[in-house]
């Protein structure tokens, strides 16, 4: 290996070692748990060292842009400083919250497909398929998204790490990002241990999630009705009143500015309420 590559590696090792000393141990522990739940392969300490290094480098760049904007006192440098700070703030937030964002995404996806997954599991159980084969079948259904990936992790614990089926279920229960999936595998494990009816358990869970979905649909319909009433009041009636008032005042005082502002408020109000109404409609 060339000398300059050895020196670069030594410098990076020294920097990484220095950065690791300033990271609190509690933070490392927290990220270890988050990254296991998020199924991220990087080690928590390695990830945090990289995040801290990027944060320090970004802070240096922002400070440099600030010094240049102060020295040259030109509008272009002020714009560059503002853009640099905005990019730095967004990147910093993303770096340190990525595992948590990933965990929330997994949880939301599994919650969404849980009734479908339980319907498949219930059908397989009715057909007499063993629990371990049922998990393998669920892992192969790509349409189940994150639920399938969590099921694949159960298989990984068994075939790659040497766990027996019950231990793999217990391990998955502890590390899953989704409480719904944890309850699912915990129920399967207890049904096997207690020699109880697994099909009855799956049927009960399926009925429960169907009721939950029905309640959510009812709530979404109620919210949609409220949003429609609010849309009429805020996005139609109020802007029209403002538009008419602004038009009368602008004609009387020859104020083009007030007329333009009235139009802007009209468009923005309609866009905001339209966005929230469409979002609720999609959830229904």
What angle, rounded to 10 degrees, do the helices at 75-126 and 198-230 form? Answer: 140
pLDDT above 90: percentage of residues in the chain: 31
Residues 208, 218 within the same domain? no
Do 48 and 113 belong together in one domain? no
Pairwise pLDDT comparison (240 vs 65), residue with the higher score: 65
Both 12 and 61 in one domain: the answer is: yes
CA–chain centroid gap for 5, Å, is 39
- pLDDT class of 202 with cuts at 50, 70, 90: very high
Give me the mean pLDDT over the 83-110 stretch: 88
Q: Are 82 and 141 part of one and the same domain? A: no
Question: Using 50, 70 and 90 to split pLDDT, how confident is the model at 47?
Answer: confident
> What are the Cα distances from residue 154, in Å, to 121, 133, 198?
15, 11, 18
Query: In the chain, what percentage of residues exceed pLDDT 70?
Result: 68
| Biggest CA-to-CA distance, the chain | 85
Residue 180, both tokens? 């719904």
- How far is residue 108's CA from residue 114's CA, in Å, rounded to a whole number? 10
Per DSSP, the residues of 187-221 read: HHHHHHHTT--HHHHHHHHHHHHHHHHHHHHHHHH
Angle in degrees, 0-180, between the axes of helices 179-193 and 198-230, rounded to the nearest 10: 160
Q: Band of the pLDDT at 96, cuts 50, 70, 90?
A: confident
Is the domain of 78 the same as that of 122?
A: no
Q: Do 24 and 120 fall into the same domain?
A: no
Contacts of 230 (CB under 8 A, 6+ apart): 273
Same domain assignment for residues 112 and 204: yes
> Which domain-ending residue is among 212, 239, 268?
212
User: Token digits for 254?
Assistant: 């020859």
Mean pLDDT of the chain: 79
Contacts 24+ apart (CB under 8 A), 219-223: 220/280, 220/283, 220/284, 221/284, 223/280
pLDDT tens digits along 182-192: 999 999 999 99
Exposed, middle or buried: residue 248 (CB in 10 Å: 0-12, 13-18, 19+)? exposed
Q: Kindly state the DSSP code that residue 94 receives in the 8-state scheme.
A: H
Rounded to whole angstroms, how far apart are CA atoms 13 and 252?
73
Domain-terminating residue out of 212, 233, 267 = 212
What is the C-alpha to C-alpha distance for residues 235 and 232, in angstroms, rounded to an integer? 6
Q: What is the pLDDT of residue 231?
A: 60
Can you tell me the distance from the alpha carbon of 182 to that of 84, in angstroms, rounded to the nearest whole number?
A: 42
CB 124: neighbour CB atoms within 10 A?
A: 19
Boundary (domain end) residue, out of 100, 128, 157: 100
Q: How many domains does the chain have?
A: 3
pLDDT, tens only, 53-72: 888 888 888 888 777 777 77
Residue 201 shares a structural domain with residue 255: no
121 and 70 together in one domain: no
How far apart are the C-alpha atoms of 18 and 23, rounded to whole Å?
10
Q: Decide if pLDDT at 262 tops 80.
A: no
**Full residue range of the structural domain in which residue 232 is found:** 213-283
Element of type H or E holding 264: helix 256-283
Tokens coding 167 = 């231990």
Distance CA 109, CA 101 (A): 12
Kindly state whether residues 202 and 135 are assigned to the same domain: yes
178-203 burial, b for 16+ CB within 10 Å, e for fewer?
Answer: bebbbebbbbbbebbeeeeebbebbe
Pair 94, 147 in one domain: no
Same domain, yes or no: 158 and 243: no
């Amino acid at each position: 290996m060339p000398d300059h590559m050895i020196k670069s590696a030594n410098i990076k090792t020294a920097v990484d070692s220095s950065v690791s000393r300033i990271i609190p141990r509690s933070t490392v522990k927290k990220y270890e748990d988050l990254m296991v739940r998020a199924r991220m392969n990087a080690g928590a300490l390695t990830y945090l060292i990289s995040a801290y290094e990027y944060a320090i480098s970004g802070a240096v760049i922002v400070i440099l842009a600030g010094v240049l904007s102060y020295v040259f006192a030109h509008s272009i440098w002020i714009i560059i400083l503002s853009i640099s700070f905005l990019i730095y703030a967004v990147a910093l937030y993303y770096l340190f919250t990525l595992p948590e964002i990933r965990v929330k995404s997994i949880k939301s996806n599994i919650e969404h497909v849980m009734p479908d997954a339980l319907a498949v599991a219930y059908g397989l159980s009715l057909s007499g398929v063993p629990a371990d084969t049922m998990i393998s079948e669920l892992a192969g259904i790509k349409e189940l998204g994150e639920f399938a990936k969590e099921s694949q992790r159960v298989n990984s614990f068994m075939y790659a790490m040497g766990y027996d089926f019950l231990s793999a279920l217990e391990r998955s229960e502890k590390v899953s990002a989704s409480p719904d999936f944890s309850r699912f595998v915990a129920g399967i494990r207890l049904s096997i241990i207690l020699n109880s009816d697994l099909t009855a358990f799956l049927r009960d869970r399926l009925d429960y999630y169907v009721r939950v979905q029905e309640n959510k649909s009812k709530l979404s319909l109620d919210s949609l009705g409220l949003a429609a009433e609010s849309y009429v009041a805020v996005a139609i009636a109020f802007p029209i009143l403002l538009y008419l008032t602004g038009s009368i005042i602008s004609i009387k005082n020859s104020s083009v500015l007030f007329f333009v502002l009235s139009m802007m408020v009209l468009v923005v109000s309609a866009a905001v309420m339209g966005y929230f109404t469409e979002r609720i409609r999609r959830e229904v």
